Structure 1
């Protein structure tokens, strides 16, 4: 797993880049509705166009992170590309609308509703009469029943990643006709809409062998606007072709080619004309945006040699034409290389003028995780002190404001703004308050400016060895370059000349090195807290890969915020490959940043993320997906009640109460919704940054020559009222 999030309805809630009595649930600030769910912070940005304006045919070349190891979304090694393929080629009874709420998929369902609640809950599905698999067989009860048996958890021969919801089904049978499917539950299940999305044919789900191996590298039978034509592991691409048996609106594209392209190579591939659509990082997005602007003398200079001054050029010319022949030859070669690199960059920039950046917010959020299993953070008061030290608005602004996206902190662990279960419950913990944070630490027995015993050298060596590669000194994240890239200085540490001036004695009391009577400078570190001769220092683990600059910049700001309270940090940068597996999942951290995907079904999907850890049979601690190791019996009970309550209003109320208690326990602090930046060819319609919505694959395509997209309907980073 990665520190980054995956698809909006992943099988397992993969990452990303994860108390107390009755608490009030505050309304979402800034929305003109009484509904605390509000509206999505950013709309989809897909250049919508009516189907009559889209050309028939063409291949969409779409960059992905990998060709997945399996096309079965219900297996543990499924990834975001698995989800993307399933959305295009398989039935889903429900899909997500622009607010991230489930809606009936009209191509498959005429209706689906609870028709009985006593003595058992019964859901009746009425299928579209034209709905058929690509082999011509009608979609029906046999497919529903095969998927239930495979995912019920009763037969361990099926290598399933999850059985939530399917384990509550008692039986599945045909209704009054072949188009009706009756699903009877043994226990009430509020999230019944989460089931059978996607739905696999009985050919895949019918036996353990076909489930375990039959859909890993191929899907012979499908039922979507596209089908899987080829999985090419040698060239790292998957080709989807039009499904001739598709009964809905025919796909505009002839094919979709999902190509594996590393993120740092995507700008070059776009410029080379080998891609039409690619998710990109902020640096590539800025480059594409600048390329699309009319060039003028005031346009920012980028690329090789952009940072050279006139004096640098003059010096280079002088050396190249000087009397020192060796130096002249070396400088001449360097100048030729620079001119060649600049020419290549200019050609690519010209090619990138055919693209634009479409942006929204992902159905995922980045959080600060606090490991409550041991050490100082095992004390809830210390965790709450860390949380009260954070200015979440500042962190959201540092990441989202430079991108032109709404910089609003996430107020829920269990849903995003616009989703039915959302409410801003952060008031259960409280906002940034230095005095309150320090009071919590004092109550936990930590003394501000208390004595610290010198640690033995062998202990220091052991700690460094445990930290992995790239470990740095306490209180330093090494993210200064990332700060410059984002162009933010929330801590107010940059002087007007742009240089950063650090305190000569990090960790010292404010004003300790100024003349007596001088006021302490603003935004400086407080005297560190200590207890039993040990300073309060938390190990902050971060990924070191090239795609993690934003996380490291956020970590640097968090470090400064904690220092101002009196909490030290020790940064450990580890490889991306080991970050989640060897550190987050195994609990080898104090603080960490990673992302969770949001879900329309939090009672089902979020429970394992926040469930109270329990001792396993072998004596270890079973944490499910609760990598912070912080949980309460009350939160578990609220989840259990919410998933068994068929009254949707009551179920949402229970979810919001659970979220308030998760906030109060301070095991994880939601920070901001992840930005979603897609570079798209300008004539590509109905695709791009989808936000919370499920893509409509049959409507994607290239505009006809001279056709214009829908006027005023592309909402780039627009905000909800």
Structure 2
């Protein structure tokens, strides 16, 4: 989620009054109550090991989706690889712990705290006296001030994607010595820990030209355990090298090579020995899991020909040895090709035995989005009926159960279990209830089996009315994206909502359409059936999404709601459909954040008319918002009492649930294939990777607690 400044302090602690009546908001935990934030549903799986057991040197080859267009994380076209590079080479005053909460980074900060609140909020940073940039210059107030000026929003020559928090700073000055930085805010800002992470040198932030272009392809000055050695866009690689000026624990690895490898090629690249670490899909995870088992364990058959029965094999032999010479020749060629493919697959499986799957849950959740701007979903009762028709536990089980991960539905829009702001507020809407969903639809005037007026429809090659669109995409125009395998998630930060910069952090799961519903007696109103347009990306390799969409369609069918599946190209999904509001239902994901008062504000802000008459939705792609939710966000970001801020956020989340614009479903799985002797890396969950501790075990050494150990390394 991108960051966004918010308005004045104002809030009323009352229940939400909605167009369909009054909903009671569940009581929230107060002083003395048990902390509702709970614990992370799944811990890190990084094969922890003490540093003295790790080889000094070596190269880690890590698969990424692409070489980023920019190395500046504050630009709208930054992506996940941009963030990964920044974490390894730049200062961050705070980083995320295993529960997704910010913690001071001692390599850069001796301390950081609010030292004054009246008349202004003042934060005093005391820097680590050893902290220096790679050119030898000390990190100091000049770098903080340059970043503030670049991101404050006052100078439009800077092409920034966000300025939240920085727009609340009044001044930055040196403290009593060069190691102290005093930041004075013009307005109270609860999420001050989100600032200056990462911190770029004044060489990058000092002028619009250096900000806009200087850090796009290279970073000359850095201050982390690694430096950027080379960026090769032709070969699709970024090479990070050990920083000789790094003052902290020296990096164990000599280099980290981030290699662009399509998702469908990663299993083969791992088997070929050209990768050590890669995020993978469930099918590749199954291959690696099976390859790691002893042969005597009765592993299931996989790979080419695994689905052929004895009868199929006998028939093939008969044809190859039959009297029809043409058929025999053709079958003989096919059998040779299958044998060759099978041998290659077997060799890959043998090589994959040197890897293991490390799994956790991503700090992100998948949701069903309901467009409340037009059509039947403008009626809150219909949105709530859709939500009450869903069995979220079943959907979570479908995705996470087969992977051995906790299949627990997400209970908050603003945080995930274990994070400080988390509480299960789904009770503001209610669990699955078919009768209640049907009652809401009846109250909204939708009658099962009601008369439906005949309408002339444009003929399309996509198939019959109510069926799935053609595989080429919506309206026969969409085409597959450049990655033939597809991704488990598509990063939507490159797309722009009306009158807003990028939408950093939005993930759109790739996939294809679910089968169309076949309602015997659909609901109707004013001569029109209740059919919702369910828009999904068309990229292949997303069986998980297809299954989820199919289950949702069936659940809606039970209460009389039809779905018309529309598959669109991955490239146009956000730009042409989600951001522009051309959908009724859609599946996409948001990352969790340690600073929801700041980061979630634009995602749930009430859309307002823009000067040109269009609607400014910021990142609220569902177009559903209320003044009360905005007020609660404003209050939460302006109070420095952390307990009060969390309480306000939980109230806001209850009202977001009640409005039923988006329905959180499940936390996304995180599957990483890692070489077995690679330690302190893998599925990080919430935590920020510690790059200097990554490496390969010394010969004969063992990790901290065996091959399946989880958690952080012993340092």
Structure 2 residue matching 1:708: 3-state secondary structure: coil
Displacement after TM superposition at 1:242 (Å): 0.3
Q: Compared with structure 1, are the counterparts of its residues 627 and 291 closer, same or farther at alpha carbon in structure 2 (3 Å cutoff)?
A: same
CA distance in structure 2 between the aligned counterparts of 1:670 and 1:614, rounded to whole angstroms: 24
Displacement after TM superposition at 1:452 (Å): 1.4
Q: Compared with structure 1, are the counterparts of its residues 61 and 577 closer, same or farther at alpha carbon in structure 2 (3 Å cutoff)?
A: same
Counterpart position of 1:226: 226
Displacement after TM superposition at 1:549 (Å): 2.4
CA distance in structure 1 between the aligned counterparts of 2:285 and 2:335, rounded to whole angstroms: 28
CA distance in structure 1 between the aligned counterparts of 2:622 and 2:36, rounded to whole angstroms: 27
Counterpart position of 1:3: none
Q: Compared with structure 1, are the counterparts of its residues 438 and 182 closer, same or farther at alpha carbon in structure 2 (3 Å cutoff)?
A: same
| RMSD, aligned α-carbons | 2.4
Structure 2 residue matching 1:323: 3-state secondary structure: coil
Q: Compared with structure 1, are the counterparts of its residues 306 and 409 closer, same or farther at alpha carbon in structure 2 (3 Å cutoff)?
A: same
User: Retained in 1: the 8 A contact 2:114–2:121?
Assistant: yes
- Answering whether residue 363 of structure 2 is matched by residue 369 of structure 1, we say no
Which of the numbers 554, 564, 582 marks the counterpart of 1:560? 554
Counterpart position of 2:619: 625
User: Retained in 1: the 8 A contact 2:2–2:599?
Assistant: no
Cα distance per residue 1:487-507 (max 9 Å; x no partner): xxxxxxxxxxxxxxx99x931
Q: Compared with structure 1, are the counterparts of its residues 142 and 174 closer, same or farther at alpha carbon in structure 2 (3 Å cutoff)?
A: same
What does 1:330-409 align with in structure 2 at a 5 Å threshold? 330-409=330-409
Counterpart position of 1:489: none
Structure 1 residue matching 2:668: 3-state secondary structure: strand
Which of the numbers 538, 541, 549 marks the counterpart of 1:544? 538
Instruction: Report the TM-score when normalising by structure 2.
Output: 0.89
Displacement after TM superposition at 1:592 (Å): 0.2
CA distance in structure 2 between the aligned counterparts of 1:296 and 1:344, rounded to whole angstroms: 21
Q: Compared with structure 1, are the counterparts of its residues 560 and 685 closer, same or farther at alpha carbon in structure 2 (3 Å cutoff)?
A: same
User: Retained in 2: the 8 A contact 1:141–1:174?
Assistant: yes
Structure 2 residue matching 1:145: 3-state secondary structure: helix
Counterpart position of 2:518: 506
Counterpart position of 2:446: 446
User: Retained in 2: the 8 A contact 1:529–1:566?
Assistant: yes
Counterpart position of 1:697: 691
Structure 2 residue matching 1:115: 3-state secondary structure: strand
CA distance in structure 2 between the aligned counterparts of 1:172 and 1:625, rounded to whole angstroms: 30
Counterpart position of 1:50: 50
Displacement after TM superposition at 1:457 (Å): 3.1
CA distance in structure 2 between the aligned counterparts of 1:565 and 1:378, rounded to whole angstroms: 18
Q: Which moved more, 1:464-473 or 1:439-448?
A: 464-473
User: Retained in 2: the 8 A contact 1:10–1:79?
Assistant: no
Cα distance per residue 1:312-341 (max 9 Å; x no partner): 111111111111111111111111000000
CA distance in structure 2 between the aligned counterparts of 1:266 and 1:440, rounded to whole angstroms: 48
- Answering whether residue 601 of structure 2 is matched by residue 601 of structure 1, we say no
CA distance in structure 2 between the aligned counterparts of 1:81 and 1:11, rounded to whole angstroms: 19
Structure 2 residue matching 1:424: 3-state secondary structure: coil
Counterpart position of 2:128: 128
Displacement after TM superposition at 1:714 (Å): 4.3
Q: Compared with structure 1, are the counterparts of its residues 26 and 416 closer, same or farther at alpha carbon in structure 2 (3 Å cutoff)?
A: farther
CA distance in structure 2 between the aligned counterparts of 1:113 and 1:272, rounded to whole angstroms: 50
What does 1:577-592 align with in structure 2 at a 5 Å threshold? 577-592=571-586
Structure 1 residue matching 2:353: 3-state secondary structure: helix
Q: Compared with structure 1, are the counterparts of its residues 716 and 244 closer, same or farther at alpha carbon in structure 2 (3 Å cutoff)?
A: closer
Counterpart position of 1:667: 661
What does 1:57-206 align with in structure 2 at a 5 Å threshold? 57-206=57-206
User: Retained in 2: the 8 A contact 1:377–1:383?
Assistant: yes
Q: Which moved more, 1:296-305 or 1:284-293?
A: 296-305
Q: Compared with structure 1, are the counterparts of its residues 469 and 582 closer, same or farther at alpha carbon in structure 2 (3 Å cutoff)?
A: farther
Counterpart position of 1:649: 643
Counterpart position of 1:574: 568
Which of the numbers 678, 681, 685 marks the counterpart of 1:684? 678
Cα distance per residue 1:322-366 (max 9 Å; x no partner): 111111111111110000000000000000000000000000000
Counterpart position of 2:215: 215
Q: Compared with structure 1, are the counterparts of its residues 649 and 465 closer, same or farther at alpha carbon in structure 2 (3 Å cutoff)?
A: same
CA distance in structure 2 between the aligned counterparts of 1:466 and 1:300, rounded to whole angstroms: 36
Q: Compared with structure 1, are the counterparts of its residues 442 and 40 closer, same or farther at alpha carbon in structure 2 (3 Å cutoff)?
A: same
Q: Compared with structure 1, are the counterparts of its residues 179 and 117 closer, same or farther at alpha carbon in structure 2 (3 Å cutoff)?
A: same
CA distance in structure 1 between the aligned counterparts of 2:594 and 2:530, rounded to whole angstroms: 39
CA distance in structure 1 between the aligned counterparts of 2:541 and 2:319, rounded to whole angstroms: 38
Displacement after TM superposition at 1:465 (Å): 13
Structure 2 residue matching 1:296: 3-state secondary structure: helix
User: Retained in 1: the 8 A contact 2:393–2:408?
Assistant: yes
Structure 2 residue matching 1:368: 3-state secondary structure: strand
User: Retained in 2: the 8 A contact 1:23–1:657?
Assistant: no
CA distance in structure 1 between the aligned counterparts of 2:172 and 2:24, rounded to whole angstroms: 41
CA distance in structure 1 between the aligned counterparts of 2:299 and 2:547, rounded to whole angstroms: 27
Q: Compared with structure 1, are the counterparts of its residues 453 and 584 closer, same or farther at alpha carbon in structure 2 (3 Å cutoff)?
A: same
Counterpart position of 1:497: none
Displacement after TM superposition at 1:389 (Å): 0.2
Structure 2 residue matching 1:196: 3-state secondary structure: coil
CA distance in structure 1 between the aligned counterparts of 2:631 and 2:589, rounded to whole angstroms: 25
Cα distance per residue 1:146-177 (max 9 Å; x no partner): 00000000000000000000000000000001
User: Retained in 1: the 8 A contact 2:47–2:711?
Assistant: no
User: Retained in 2: the 8 A contact 1:48–1:714?
Assistant: no
Cα distance per residue 1:543-585 (max 9 Å; x no partner): 1112432122101000000000110000011111111111111
Counterpart position of 1:496: none
CA distance in structure 2 between the aligned counterparts of 1:77 and 1:694, rounded to whole angstroms: 21
Displacement after TM superposition at 1:472 (Å): 9.3
CA distance in structure 2 between the aligned counterparts of 1:71 and 1:83, rounded to whole angstroms: 8
Displacement after TM superposition at 1:27 (Å): 7.1
Where in structure 1 are there 5+ consecutive unaligned residues?
Answer: 1-8, 14-18, 474-481, 483-501, 509-526
Counterpart position of 2:496: none
Displacement after TM superposition at 1:377 (Å): 0.2
User: Retained in 1: the 8 A contact 2:23–2:428?
Assistant: no
Structure 2 residue matching 1:546: 3-state secondary structure: coil
CA distance in structure 2 between the aligned counterparts of 1:25 and 1:125, rounded to whole angstroms: 39
Q: Compared with structure 1, are the counterparts of its residues 291 and 658 closer, same or farther at alpha carbon in structure 2 (3 Å cutoff)?
A: same
Q: Compared with structure 1, are the counterparts of its residues 27 and 315 closer, same or farther at alpha carbon in structure 2 (3 Å cutoff)?
A: farther
CA distance in structure 1 between the aligned counterparts of 2:322 and 2:460, rounded to whole angstroms: 53
Where in structure 2 are there 5+ consecutive unaligned residues?
Answer: 6-15, 476-484, 486-514
CA distance in structure 1 between the aligned counterparts of 2:558 and 2:459, rounded to whole angstroms: 27
CA distance in structure 1 between the aligned counterparts of 2:708 and 2:343, rounded to whole angstroms: 34
CA distance in structure 2 between the aligned counterparts of 1:170 and 1:209, rounded to whole angstroms: 24
Displacement after TM superposition at 1:24 (Å): 3.6
CA distance in structure 1 between the aligned counterparts of 2:271 and 2:2, rounded to whole angstroms: 31
CA distance in structure 1 between the aligned counterparts of 2:414 and 2:441, rounded to whole angstroms: 28
- Answering whether residue 559 of structure 2 is matched by residue 535 of structure 1, we say no
CA distance in structure 1 between the aligned counterparts of 2:449 and 2:467, rounded to whole angstroms: 27
Q: Compared with structure 1, are the counterparts of its residues 48 and 260 closer, same or farther at alpha carbon in structure 2 (3 Å cutoff)?
A: same
User: Retained in 2: the 8 A contact 1:25–1:424?
Assistant: no
Structure 1 residue matching 2:173: 3-state secondary structure: strand
CA distance in structure 2 between the aligned counterparts of 1:545 and 1:376, rounded to whole angstroms: 28
User: Retained in 2: the 8 A contact 1:147–1:206?
Assistant: yes
CA distance in structure 2 between the aligned counterparts of 1:461 and 1:338, rounded to whole angstroms: 35
Counterpart position of 2:480: none
